[in-house]
Amino acid sequence: MTAQITWLCFGLLGLLPFALGFWVSINRGRAGANYSYSDDPTHPLHKAVRAHGNAIEYVPTLMVLTIALDRMLPGQATMWLVVLATLGRYLHAIGMLTCTSLGDRHPLRIAGSVLTYFPGLIMAVLVILKVL
């Protein structure tokens, strides 16, 4: 069951950039913007583009760390780190899309950041320690 949850999270991480990319496309159509968009942090297209870009910055690394850690240290620890990181990525994206302005601090963005940074850093350190 542990491996199934780990790989479910892996799939959910892989799904996130595609879902956010699709949301960018929908918002581009609504705004009639093919090549550029408003830099207004309250504009839905701007928020969608930034949510997608932020996911692209972290998701691939988390996925690579998941594969490495699942091979080096399969089990509960890896599963929980991946669950937390996946939850963090989704909370962060929801916070970016639902906030009034990207200039504001949104509780979901903060929680999502914490749940991305700490599990991600722990995963990276565990991979390094397993190699040493």
pLDDT in tens, 43-83: 999 999 999 999 999 999 999 999 999 999 999 999 999 99
Please give the single-letter amino acid code of residue 89: R
Number of domains in the chain: 1
**What's the domain range around 108?**
2-30+40-131
Token pair for 57: 């910055």
Token pair for 107: 């509780």
From CA 57, how far away is CA 89, in angstroms rounded? 11
- Whether the pLDDT of residue 3 is over 90: the answer is yes
pLDDT of residue 12: 98
Judge whether 35 lies within some domain: no
Q: Are the C-beta atoms of residues 81 and 64 closer than 8 Å to each other?
A: no
Judge whether 81 lies within some domain: yes
pLDDT of residue 34: 83
From CA 28, how far away is CA 69, in angstroms rounded? 38
The pLDDT of 100-115, averaged and rounded, is 97
